[in-house]
Structure formats: C-alpha cells, structure tokens
Amino acid sequence: MLKENLSGQTVIITGANSGIGFEAARKLSEKGAHVILAVRNGEKGRAAVNSILQGNSEASVELMKLDLADLSSVRNFSSAFIEKYDHLHILINNAGVMIPPYGKTKDGFELQFGSNHLGHFALTGLLLPLLKKTPGSRVVTLSSIAHRGASIDFDNLDGSKGYKAMKFYGQSKLANLLFARELDNRLKLHGIQTISVACHPGISNTNLFNLGKGETPKYMKGLMKLFSQPAAMGALPTIYAAADDSLTGGEYIGPDGRGNRKGFPAIEIPAPGVFNEVTMNRLWSVSEELTGVQFDF
C-alpha cells in the first residue's frame, strides 16, 4: 500500500535535478517529505528546486552538492548531511551516466562503473549509521533493463583492456541490482530493520538518452516516443519502491508492460541466475576495496 503522507520523513535523491530523479523528488515532496536533491551541478539543482516550489509552494526541498564521480565529494556530502541530520528515512540511489565516451572518475575508475555503482556504494555505506537508527528506513537503488545479459568483468573494471560503452553501462546497472540485493541480505543477516529495494524505469524519455553528445538528436526524440514513456511514468517504480508499505526488502520493481519497458510499477522477477552469490560477494569485496568504505552493520 503506497503511503500518501510522508510528513516528517527525510529523503535523499541523487541526480534529482532532471528526469526520473526530478519527478520522484517532486512527487515525494508532494506527499510531505523533506527532499534533499543531491546533485553535481548547482545551477541545474537550483533550477530544479525552483521548479518544484513553483508547482508547490509548500514543498520542503533542499539542495546539496554531490559528485558521485569523486569519492572526496561523496565523503564531504555524507559528513555535511550527518552534521545536520540525525536521521534518514529514504536514500534513493538514482543518479547515473549512460553510454558516454571512455572516461574516468576523479579516483581513476571507469566513469559508468565508478559513478553509477561505486559512488552509490560508498554513499550508502557512509550514511548507513543514520539509516540504521531511523525506524522504517530504506535504500532504493536504480538498475535498468540493460542489466539483462550483462556480466561483471572483474579483470577489466577500469576499461583499460577495452571499452564498449553499452557493455559497460550494462555492467554498472547489473552492479546496482546485485548491490541492492546483497545489501538487503546483509541487513537481514545482522538483524537491521532497514530494507534495500531495487527498481528500474523501463525505457523513459530522459536526458540520459543524449548518447554522451549533449542534446538528443531530433530523429532519436521521434523514435523514443514510440517505445518509451515520459519521465513522470518512469519515476513510478522509484516512488513505489520508496513509499510502498508492503515491501519487505530484496524486491525489484519495474513497469508491468511488455518487456517491462512501459507501464505501471509491479514486482518483477529478474532472469534466472542473476543473483549469483559468488558474484555478489566478490562485487561487495571489490567495491569495499576500491572505495575504502566498510559497511558498519
């Protein structure tokens, strides 16, 4: 059952200045939550905050700087948040980069794996102390249908032995899904009430589809309308994952339409063999090693 009243709840959404993150921020603030838009670009962040307030002057929204491609920024954000707040109800790991040219994060990780997975892994670990002491808290991590057919190439995580943008995007989104499930497993193992849920937006018409080249080409915009849904629809699985009372952790939420590309949110069963325990444990260990963040369960 979707909670309609989130008054008194504090929510962090990464990458909330546009697309699905923005729509989720708008909707959750309408439900009364205090929403922190954790974004890299201050100007775009301020525009997003103003847009939400124009639509709802009662909204409680706040802007904080966070660059997931820079672990020092992740640590600074976490420290600043912990200094200001003694609770965190919902963390939504939403921000992402999709199929850019080969590049690296500030810490030398391949850009997609570093931003989409490692940045969120570190952020979640650093904020875990607050999540643990907040009743009914949860972590929502966004994956993608691009995880299908993907694998984690532990011998080439940095792309130095070859890089294909879509393959590495799929790898990062599979990592998001495996992290969400393994986090839930470990929370339950340690008797912690915080839950972890994964979701994906199907195919949504957002600025992720700029193919790393700035503005989306006109021909792509036309094609996108045929097989995608608006960002407001794409955000529904995120809202469901963040605010549905019936979820117990470990679920994967996506659109209920054909191929899970469009539609309304429902619990989705990933392909058999996706949740491989050996891979999940190895990914966790490698992520701790690369980020230097240990989870204090």
* Contacts of 227 by beta carbon, 8 Å cutoff, 6+ apart: 203, 261, 262
Q: Shortest CA distance to 241 belongs to which of 197, 281, 277?
A: 197
* Contacts of 164 by beta carbon, 8 Å cutoff, 6+ apart: none
Q: If phi over 0 gives left and psi between -120 and 50 gives alpha, with beta otherwise, what is residue 92?
A: beta
In this structure, are strands 138-142 and 252-255 parallel, antiparallel, or unpaired? unpaired
| Residues linked to residue 14 through DSSP beta bridges, in sequence order | 38
The total number of residues written for the chain in this structure: 297
3-state DSSP percent of the chain in helix, strand and coil, to 5: 45, 15, 40
- Token couple for 209: 């589809």
Cα distance between residue 43 and residue 25, in whole Å: 17
Cα distance between residue 56 and residue 136, in whole Å: 26
Catalytic residues: 169
